[in-house]
Amino acid sequence: AQTVTQSQPEMSVQEAETVTLSCTYDTSENNYYLFWYKQPPSRQMILVIRQEAYKQQNATENRFSVNFQKAAKSFSLKISDSQLGDTAMYFCAFQPFTGNQFYFGTGTSLTVIP
């Protein structure tokens, strides 16, 4: 069975600073996808960044980057130069190659403080 763990229920960061959200997962699969989704207050979830497990290079999208450690089954999200609009719930998700369902963590509520 696949499980995803986000150990930080809430975090805060000063505007313009850098913050890292942690995510670990457990799987016996060798090939899979990992995602970070963002859910702003009262809005739908949107994709922040995606990583294919077979790629060693960490994914980057502008101010968002990941630290993917396959052996450690760790997939953290780094947000640089935090902006007020980054305030949201962040969900880590896992998708095995062998299926199309997502397994989500419990989320981290991030607040960017002006």
Partner 1 sequence: EPEVTQTPSHQVTQMGQEVILRCVPISNHLYFYWYRQILGQKVEFLVSFYNNEISEKSEIFDDQFSVERPDGSNFTLKIRSTKLEDSAMYFCASNSGSYNEQFFGPGTRLTVL
Select from 28, 41, 44, 57 the one that contacts partner 1 (CB under 8 A): 44
Asked if residue 106 binds partner 1 (CB under 8 A), the reply is yes
The answer to whether 112 and 15 have CB atoms below 8 angstroms apart is yes
Select from 20, 50, 64, 74 the one that contacts partner 1 (CB under 8 A): 50
Number of residues that bind partner 1 (CB under 8 A): 23
Q: What b/e string do you get for 38-54 counting C-beta neighbours within 10 Å, with b at 16 or more?
A: beeeeeebeebbebebe
Question: Closest approach of Cβ 104 to partner 1, in Å?
Answer: 4
Question: Closest approach of Cβ 103 to partner 1, in Å?
Answer: 7
Question: Closest approach of Cβ 45 to partner 1, in Å?
Answer: 4
Select from 107, 108, 110, 112 the one that contacts partner 1 (CB under 8 A): 107
Select from 70, 102, 109, 111 the one that contacts partner 1 (CB under 8 A): 102
The answer to whether 78 and 18 have CB atoms below 8 angstroms apart is yes
- DSSP bridge partners of 74: 24, 69
SS3 of 59, please?
coil
- DSSP bridge partners of 90: 38, 108
